[in-house]
Chains A and B, each alone.
Chain A
Amino acid sequence: MGAAIIELDDVTLGYERHPAVHHLRGGFASGTLTAVVGPNGGGKSTLLKGVIGLLRPLSGRISVNGVDRRDIAYLPQQADIDPRFPISVLDTVLLGHWRRMGAFRPVTRAMRAAGAAALAAVGLEGFEARPIGSLSAGQRQRALFARVLVADSPVILLDEPFTAIDAKTTADLLALVLRWHGEGRTIVAVLHDHDQVRRYFPQTLLLAREAIGWGDTEAVLTPDNLRHVRAMSEAWDTEAPVCERGAA
Chain B
Amino acid sequence: MSLAASLGDWLFGPFLDFGFMRRALVACLALALGSGPVGVFLVLRRMALIGDTMSHAVLPGAAVGFLIAGLSLPAMSLGGFIAGLAVALLSGLATRFTALEEDASFAAFFLISLALGVMIVSLHGNNVDLMHVLFGSILAVDDVSLVLVAAIATVSVLALALIYRPLVVECFDPGFLRAVGGRGGAVHLVFLVLVVLDMVAGFQALGTLMAVGLMMLPATAARFWARDVWGLVLAAVLVAMVSGFVGLVASYHGNLPSGPAIVLCAGVIHLASLVAGPHDSLVARRLRRRHLRA
A interface residue numbers (CB < 8 A to B): 52-54, 69-70, 72, 74, 76, 79-82, 85-88, 92, 95, 98-99, 103-104, 131
Contact = CB atoms under 8 A, between A and B. Distances in A.
Contact of A54 (B44, B163, B178, B182): B178
A210 to B, nearest CB: 26
Interface in B149-200: 162-163, 165-166, 168-169, 171-176, 178-182
B228 to A, nearest CB: 5
A70 B173 contact: no
A85 B179 contact: no
Contacts of A79: 173, 175-176
Contact of A104 (B165, B178, B179): B165
Given A87-B228, A88-B228, A99 B180 contact: yes
Contact of A85 (B162, B163, B166, B171): B171
A16 B17 CA distance: 67
A85 B168 CA distance: 9
Contacts of A85: 44, 171-172
Given A103-B163, A131-B227, A82 B173 contact: yes
Nearest to A88: B228
Contacts of B172: 81-82, 85, 87, 92
Contacts of A103: 162-163, 165-166, 182
B232 interface: yes
Interface residues of B, number: 23
Contacts of A87: 168, 172, 228-229
A80 B180 contact: no
9 contacts: A79-B175, A80-B174, A82-B173, A85-B44, A86-B229, A87-B172, A103-B163, A104-B162, A104-B165
A50 to B, nearest CB: 12
Nearest to B178: A54
Given A70-B181, A104-B165, A95 B232 contact: no
A104 B163 CA distance: 9
A81 B179 CA distance: 13
A208 B171 CA distance: 34
Given A79-B173, A79-B175, A98 B180 contact: yes
A80 B173 contact: yes
Contacts of B169: 95
A74 B177 CA distance: 11
Given A86-B227, A87-B228, A103-B165, A52 B173 contact: no
B228 A86 contact: yes
Interface string B85-120: 000000000000000000000000000000000000
A217 to B, nearest CB: 27
Contacts of B174: 80
Contact of B171 (A53, A82, A88, A104): A82
Contacts of B226: 86
Contacts of B232: 86
B175 A80 contact: yes
Interface string B126-161: 000000000000000000000000000000000000
Q: What 3 A-B pairs come out closest when comparing CB atoms?
A: A70-B181, A85-B172, A81-B173
Contacts of B227: 86, 131
A145 to B, nearest CB: 14
A76 B174 CA distance: 11
B113 to A, nearest CB: 29
Contacts of A70: 179-181
Given A81-B176, A95-B169, 7 more contacts: A69-B181, A80-B173, A80-B175, A81-B172, A81-B175, A86-B228, A98-B182
Contacts of B165: 103-104
